[in-house]
Structure 1
Amino acid sequence: MNGFERRKEQKKKNILEASLALFKEYGIQKVSIAEIAQKANVSQVTIYNYFESKDNLVQHVFKYYVDLVWEEQKALFDLDLPFKEKIKRMMFEKSDLADEIGEKFFQDFMLDYSNGKSYVEELYIKEGLPRLIELFNVGKEQGHIDQSISNEAMLLYLQMFKEFMQRKDIAQTLLPLTEDLTKLFFYGIVGEKDR
């Protein structure tokens, strides 16, 4: 990559980071291209040259955000830890990215997710599901997941959960319950005695 291409990519990244920061704080609708340009230290024309429209920029920001979150999740999947410790870290170690998300941005993000054709859906099918199956199999091998529960049943459960999350009316309810839902998924309603 030559110097021009590097500068171009850095400007795009600056625009995405500025957009994400503003969207997370104020929500997408309340942020203008002028505000993004000012925060990214670029002209509005540059933003339109790279992203064509605010709607297209929003889609790129969603993808950028999902990629950041997924990188954090992959790092957790890749930790060389016993199954139970890995699950605890996945459940209880809040990521900075998740902590910083505002309710309005979350609602906008979930609205995009609810269309069923989002980047989240694509990444989930392509990379997330295989990693979860791998994790479930390790849990079964180590005796932490009941071996009589098939991967197909777990995948169906995940699919039902995913479809519920894609409902347009669920975003406001979901954000404050994410930790509880994660515990419920991994430990069921009885819970685990020796957490």
Structure 2
Amino acid sequence: MNGFERRKQQKKAIILQTALKLFMEKGPQKVAVTDIAKQAGVSQVTIYNYFGSKDDLIDAALILYTDQIWEEFNSFLDSDKTFPEKVSRIIFDKKTAAAHVHLDFFDALMNEYTNEKSYIDTLYTEKALPRLMELFNEGKEQGYVDPGLSNDVLILYIQLFKEGLKNKQITEIALPLTEELTTIFFYGVAGKQGKTD
């Protein structure tokens, strides 16, 4: 890659990071291209040259956000932490993310996530879901997950939750309850967090 191409890629990355930050803080619809250009130190024309439209920039920002979350999630799952430590981190991270993400950004993310054949849906199906199954198998081996539960029922449970999030009214209710929903998902209504007998 020559110097010009490298500078172009660096500038594009700065625009994308700036857009993502603003979208998360204010929601995509409340952020103007002029706001992004000013904070990124570029012209509006540069943004349109690199991304085509604001909608394309929003899509790129959602993909960047998804990739960042996936990298963190994947790295943590590769660690030597126990099942309860991994689950606690997932719950804590979701609560933290929900508190720092504007509802409109979360809504855009959910809309993208629930669209079939979207980038997020593909990543979820091909990478995240198999890793979740590995986590549940770890939990079974360590005695924290009922070995009588099949992976099929766990996948169905996840799919039902995903289908529910397609409803905007449910998404708005679900966002502030992320920690509790995740706890119920992993531990059930009894909240049992110890090893199975």
Between the aligned partners of 1:100 and 1:9, the Cα distance in structure 2 is: 28
Distance 1:97 1:146, change over 3 A: closer
Contact kept? 1:27, 1:105, Cα under 8 Å: yes
Aligned twin of 1:133: 133
Identity value in percent? 50
Structure 1 Cα separation of the partners of residues 38 and 152 of structure 2: 50
Alpha-carbon distance in structure 1 between the residues aligned to 2:147 and 2:165 = 27
Unaligned 5+ runs, structure 1: none
Structure 2: unaligned runs, 5 residues or longer: none
1:43 aligns with 2:43: yes
Residue 194 of structure 1 and its aligned partner are, at CA, apart by: 4.3
8 A Cα contact 1:19 1:36, kept in partner: yes
The one-letter code of the counterpart of 1:29 is: Q
| CA distance in structure 1 between the aligned counterparts of 2:50 and 2:95, rounded to whole angstroms | 29
Q: Is the 8 A contact 2:83 2:142 kept in 1?
A: yes
Cα offset for 1:184?
A: 0.2
Which residue number corresponds to residue 55 of structure 1? 55
Contact 2:112 2:120 in 1 (8 A): no
Report the counterpart of residue 2 of structure 2 in structure 1: 2
Amino acid at match of 1:131: R
Q: Go from structure 1 to structure 2 and tell me whether the alpha carbon gap of 1:154 and 1:129 turns closer, same or farther (over 3 Å shift).
A: same
- Over aligned residues, Cα RMSD in angstroms? 1.9
Q: Deviations for 1:28-85, whole angstroms, at most 9, x for unmatched residues?
A: 1121111111111111111111111111111001101111111121122111112222
Pairing 1:187–2:187 present:
yes
Q: Which moved more, 1:112-121 or 1:35-44?
A: 112-121
* C-alpha deviation, 1:99, in angstroms: 3.8
* C-alpha distance in 1 between matches for 2:101 and 2:63: 15
What's the offset of the Cα at 1:149?
0.6
- Decide whether aligned partners of structure 1 residues 95 and 187 sit closer, same or farther in structure 2, where only a CA change above 3 A counts: closer
Distance 1:4 1:95 in 2: 41
Mean Cα displacement is larger for which, 45-54 or 101-110?
A: 101-110
Aligned pairs (5 A) from 1:1-80: 1-80=1-80
Aligned to 1:146, the other structure's residue is in SS state coil
What is the rounded CA distance, in whole Å, between the counterparts of 1:135 and 1:193 in structure 2?
15
In structure 2, the residue matched to 1:124 is 124
Task: Return the TM-score normalized by structure 2.
Answer: 0.91
Task: Report deviation, 1:123.
Answer: 0.8
Q: Does structure 1 conserve the Cα–Cα contact (< 8 Å) formed by 2:22 and 2:36? A: yes
Shift of 1:183: 0.1
